[in-house]
Amino acid sequence: MTSNAADMPFGQTRGLLSAVMASCRDAIIAYSLDGQIEAWNRGAEEIYGFSQEEAIGSPAELTTPRDRVGENDRLREAAIQGRSIEHFDTLRTRKSGESFPAAICGFPIRNEREEVVGYATIERDISGRMQAADTLRIALTEAQEANAAKSRFLANASHELRTPMNAIVGMTALALEEDISHELRDYLETIRDSADSMLHLVNDVLDLAKFESDGFELEEVPFDPRELSESAIKVLGTAAHAKGLELVCHVAPDVPTAVIGDPMRLRQVLTNLLGNSIKFTAAGEVVVDVSPVSIEKKRCKLQFSVKDSGIGISDKDQERIFKPFTQVDGATTRRYSGTGLGLTITQHLIDCFGSQLELESQPGVGSRFTFCLTLPLASKPEDTVSRATEKLRGMTVLVVDDNQASRDTLTEQFAAWGMRPAIASSGREAMRLVEKSLDKNSPFDLAVVDALMPGLDGFTVASKIEGDERISTKPIIMASTTDRLEFSRRCAEAGAAAYIQKPISQSQLLSAVVQASGVASLDGPPRKALFDAPTCEKLRVLLVEDTPANRKVAQRVLSKRGHEIEVAVNGREALDLFRKEEFDVVLMDVQMPIMDGYQATEAIREIERSGGRVPTPIIAMTAHSMSGDREKCLRAGMDNYLSKPLDLPKLIRMVESVSENGIKNHAAKPQHVEASKAAAEPESPMAAPAADLDTALKRLRGDRGLLLDMMGFFEQDAPTLLAAVDKNLESGQLAEVERGAHSLKGLASTFDAVAAVSSARDVEQAAHDGRADALPPLVKSLHAEVANLLAFLRDYR
Ligand code: ADP
């Protein structure tokens, strides 16, 4: 077009507008003021199926469904008042009778004198757009369902994987309790540690699902940062050795020995970072360093770092790699295996710790990942290490290692024990120092020699010293990353008094020094004996578990502790036994054929109620680890919860403490609690502490970790249980109110919280007796007591 419409004569413009109307794919319809159709374009013909001849002269209702005719009146009235109507979405009907979604706007038509002579609408068929929106909605629902299915799948898959892992971990722990050779113990410990790593892998995948659904929580238990770092690094020793890498764990001597945090998660972080460093390093070393940044009265700040001499990461890639499923080398034929999940989870965990993961890296030189944690200090366990090292004070020790990080760590450790280290970085230098010490007539008391060194290797150095007649005693410790069996054979041939496998842990180094020098007897650190005689009385335990291997683990462990075990392989069998006999505690698997753990627990509670029997503590055992499982168990009437794979010491602690707690309290509670409450109240009702944690701790045999665990459980569960009590009270479900109060009572009694226990018992009793009227004030006071106890526990923590 060469000229625009404004310049055209009027007739020509009209012609053009008619062409626009005719060509428009929307319906353009004109109406007279009395509502008759006066103009009907081709778009209207196409959309509605009525020809111009059919439509013109028809009423506006021609295409309007009966329930929408009011719209036509509104359009007409607006036009008469000279107003336009904005787009609105509605329904219209085609000639075929089919209705469809339409978007309509309307406006008045004016003549040359600006008088309104009619009105017009532009109507668009939006069924395509709506369909697209529907498709999108369906796709969204499907995606949400798929996501939920993925979470279910992950939970199930992890359950399936965790079940056999329980037997592997349990049987290994049992085997480790036997009187076995040093070598076999070493193998079994590696199996145990590897099984732990595998569990971590399963948990990694689960974690990701939990992060996505915000169902993630950290633990707060006491642990030793040194023990944790050394054991994390030990698991990866074989992988490092296979690549000929030097793996060093340096924990500064002044790192506190007891802090509070989440050791499993910290271990997961270190394992992830270490695993990567080993994977991406072809030669050289990987060093884990733990050093204090500050130590205050109640807490410390520790810096953890993992440094390698590997391929490094370019600046550009440093941001990318923290995203899930991302690797620097994205090619399908890439050289390094992996899922690209490790760093995502690591970073997320460190975020949860309230810290940041920092990365310094240079391609071709190496990487260093660092993070700092502020951790509360826990009360110190007995310091068996410094007792054992007293006799080492003043001894001279020759440290021979070609790797500087190894040398530095050993030297620092010896110095911390009060020994006097001398350092050699090669076999030759070592021999020179030995000669010099002989010249001065003060031979070294001890030598720690790295087996694999360039030039004169450690075995040769050891043989030379061994063969030297001027040296009367030859306490040599060989250190190496090589294959254990081969290593121990060659050490014996070279005349070494002891040997240690790298990466070296403090406890290992200490026992090798003691063995080689013979100066101190090692009365610590003692191996934690799982089967020491229990401090509680012999218990009758009903073990309900369908998987034979898992049954065997729990059965062996508890019977070795001197308890009497009755076994049922499903809920039905458990009920048969429970009807006939009394038990001190029931260990209940959750998923079982015929009758599952929830149903069995409910039935047991019913038997107790109807028979007037004292409730027996029931501990759930489940391989599910999604949040909500614990609550489900407690709701079903169980008193506590263990997740599989079973942590055997925890199993023992829980069976013995829960049952002790349960039996004593259940049997003596009514009079005992009432009496002590009555005695305490008149004197100073406000001053009585909400709980007696000293007694609670004594009952847990001083296990503060377990006490803190239990506090954590209480803090998690009490509000949920209280809310359920409220809800059930409102809907008149007194049996449920009774059950909730019973669980609260059990939980509160763990802390000897007399007032809360008594209040929960009052609610339980009133609900049991069907005294609905009495309940509201009792539940109110239960709220107050629980809030009081929660505040008390929080303060204590
Ligand atoms: P993956 O399972 O692939 O190791 P990660 O999330 O742990 O997944 O790591 C993502 C990527 O980051 C790795 O594939 C690698 O490219 C890079 N990366 C991580 N750690 C190192 C390291 N220490 N040295 C070099 N590259 C690393």
DSSP string, 511-573: HHHHHHH--S----SPP--TTSPPSSPP-EEEEE-S-HHHHHHHHHHHHHTT-EEEEESSHHH
CA gap 399, 410 in Å, rounded:
7
User: Which residue lies with its CA nearest to atom 21 of ligand 1?
Assistant: 276
- 196 Cα to the center of ligand 1, angstroms: 21
Distance from C-alpha of 152 to C-alpha of 145, rounded to nearest angstrom: 10
Average pLDDT over every residue of 703-730: 80
- pLDDT of residue 350 exceeding 60: yes
Q: Which structure tokens are listed for 668?
A: 């003596």
> Using CA positions, which residue lies closest to atom 20 of ligand 1?
276
**Looking at the predicted structure, is the pLDDT value of residue 160 above 60?**
yes
Average pLDDT over residues 7-33: 84
Question: How sure is the predictor about 565, in pLDDT bands with cuts at 50, 70 and 90?
Answer: very high
**What average pLDDT score do residues 96-122 get?**
94
643-678 exposure pattern, b = at least 16 Cβ within 10 A, e = fewer: bbbbebeebbbbbbbbbbbbbebbeebeeebeebbe
Atom of ligand 1 nearest to the CA of 311: 25
Which of 204, 343, 357, 370 is the pocket-test mutation for ligand 1 (most atoms within 8 Å of CB)? 343
| Nearest Cα residue to 599 out of 576, 579, 581, 572 | 572
The correct CATH number of 4-125 out of 3.30.450.20, 3.90.1300.10, 1.10.287.3510, 3.40.120.10 is 3.30.450.20
Nearest ligand 1 atom, CA 329 = 16
Residue among 243, 268, 321 whose CB has most ligand 1 atoms within 8 A, to mutate: 321
328 ligand 1 Cβ < 6 A: yes
Read off the pLDDT of each residue in 209-236 and give the average, rounded to a whole number: 78
CA dist 574 and 553 (Å) reads: 18
Write down how long the chain is: 797
Compute the distance from residue 369 Cα to the ligand 1 centre, in Å: 11
* Half-sphere exposure in the Cβ direction for 554 (13 Å, CA): 32
Q: What's the 275 CA to ligand 1 centre distance in angstroms? A: 9
pLDDT, greater one: 8 or 93: 93
What is the reported pTM? 0.48
Ligand 1 pocket residue status of 357, Cβ below 6 Å: no
pLDDT in tens, 420-454: 999 999 999 999 998 898 888 888 888 898 888 88
Strands (E), 716-785: none
Nearest CA to ligand 1 atom 7: 342
Ligand 1 centroid – CA 336 distance (Å): 9
> Are residues 16 and 5 in contact, defined by beta-carbon separation less than 8 angstroms?
yes
- For residue 277, give the ligand 1 atom closest to its CA: 23
From residue 772, alpha-carbon distances to 500, 728, 733, 742 in Å are 70, 11, 10, 16
User: Is 276 near ligand 1, meaning CB less than 6 Å away?
Assistant: yes
Could you tell me where the DSSP H helices lie in 384-504? 384-389, 404-416, 427-439, 458-467, 484-494
Reported confidence tier of residue 355, pLDDT bands at 50, 70, 90: very high
CA of 276 to the centre of ligand 1 (A): 6
Q: Which residue has the higher pLDDT, 658 or 298?
A: 298
pLDDT of residue 675: 30
- Pairwise pLDDT comparison (78 vs 535), residue with the higher score: 78
| Ligand 1 atom closest to the CA of 327, numbered from 1 | 14
Decide whether any atom of ligand 1 lies within 6 Å of the 308 Cβ. yes
More confident residue, 475 or 42: 42
pLDDT band at 636 (very low <50, low <70, confident <90, very high): confident
In this predicted structure, what is the pLDDT of residue 239? 78
For residue 190, pLDDT over 50 is answered with yes
Take atom 13 of ligand 1 and give the residue whose Cα is closest: 327
Q: Looking at residue 71, what is its pLDDT?
A: 92
Give percent of the chain above pLDDT 90. 28
Query: How many A from CA of 166 to the centre of ligand 1?
Result: 30
Q: What Cα–Cα distance (Å) separates residue 494 from each residue in 423, 460, 497, 510?
A: 21, 8, 9, 21
Alpha carbons 544 and 593: distance in angstroms, whole number: 11
The H or E element spanning position 164 is: helix 127-176
Among 451-465, 644-658, 718-732, name the one with the lowest average pLDDT.
Answer: 644-658
Indicate the average pLDDT of the chain.
Answer: 81
Fold (CATH) for 384-517? Rossmann fold (3.40.50)
Residue 332 has pLDDT above 50, yes or no: no
CATH no., domain 540-680:
3.40.50.2300
Assess whether pLDDT exceeds 60 at residue 333: no
The domain segmentation of the chain, as residue ranges, is 4-125, 217-376, 384-517, 540-680, 693-796
To the nearest whole percent, how much of the chain has pLDDT over 70? 82
Closest residue by Cα to atom 4, ligand 1, is 338
Atom of ligand 1 at shortest distance to CA of 345?
6
Confidence band for 531, pLDDT divided at 50, 70 and 90 = low
CA dihedral over 188, 191, 195, 196, signed as positive or negative: positive
305 — pLDDT class (breaks 50, 70, 90): very high
Query: What span, in angstroms and rounded, lies between the C-alpha atoms of 499 and 490?
Result: 10
> Which residue's CA is minimally distant from atom 19 of ligand 1?
276
CA distance linking residue 259 with residue 223, whole number of Å: 6
Pocket test for ligand 1, best of 207, 280, 307 (most atoms within 8 A of CB): 280
Looking at residue 682, its pLDDT comes to: 30
CATH top-level class of 693-796: mainly alpha
The mean pLDDT value for 270-288 works out to 92
* pLDDT attached to residue 676: 31
**Ligand 1 touching residue 346 (CB < 6 A):** no
pLDDT at residue 684 in the model: 30
More confident residue, 467 or 574: 574
Cα distance between residue 634 and residue 614, in whole Å: 18
Which residue has better confidence, 406 or 235? Answer: 406
Amino acid 199: pLDDT: 79
Of 304-318, 400-414, 512-526, 585-599, which gets the smallest average pLDDT? 512-526
Q: Residue 658 and residue 583: Cα distance in Å, rounded?
A: 13
- CA–centroid distance, 421 to ligand 1, in Å, is 38
Which tens digit of pLDDT belongs to each residue from 637-679?
888 888 777 777 778 888 887 655 544 333 333 333 333 333 3
- Of all protein residues, the one whose alpha carbon is nearest to atom 18 of ligand 1 is 276
Q: How far is the CA of 313 from the centre of ligand 1 (A)?
A: 9
Does 534 sit in the ligand 1 pocket, CB within 6 Å?
Answer: no
Nearest atom (ligand 1) to Cα of 343: 6
340 Cβ below 6 A of ligand 1:
yes
More confident site: 507 or 400? 400
Give residue 336's pLDDT: 54
Report strand pairing: 618-622 vs 585-589.
parallel
Distances (CA, A) of 99 to 131, 476, 508: 14, 95, 83
pLDDT at residue 146, as a whole number: 82
Q: Over 60: is that where the pLDDT of 338 sits?
A: no
What pLDDT sits at residue 2?
44
Nearest residue (by CA) to ligand 1, atom 8, is 340
For the segment 96-117, the average pLDDT, to the nearest whole number, is 93
Give the torsion sign (CA, 390, 396, 398, 403): positive
Report d(CA 586, CA 603) in Å as an integer: 13
CATH topology of domain 217-376: Heat Shock Protein 90 (3.30.565)
Identify the residue with better confidence: 339 or 162. 162
Query: Is residue 329 very low, low, confident or very high in pLDDT (cuts 50, 70, 90)?
Result: low
The string over 589-624, giving b where at least 16 C-beta atoms fall within 10 Å of a residue's C-beta and e elsewhere, is: bbebeebbbbebbebbbeeeeeeeeebbbbbbbbbb
Beta strands in 274-353 (DSSP E): 285-295, 299-308
In this chain, the answer to whether the domains covering 384-517 and 540-680 adopt an identical fold is yes
**47-51, 479-483, 544-548, 609-613, range with greatest mean pLDDT:** 47-51
763 CB within 6 A, ligand 1: no
Task: Say yes or no: CB of residue 311 within 6 Å of ligand 1.
Answer: yes
Mean pLDDT of 144-153: 77
Lowest mean pLDDT among 242-246, 534-538, 541-545, 748-752: 534-538
Any atom of ligand 1 within 6 Å of the Cβ of 275:
no
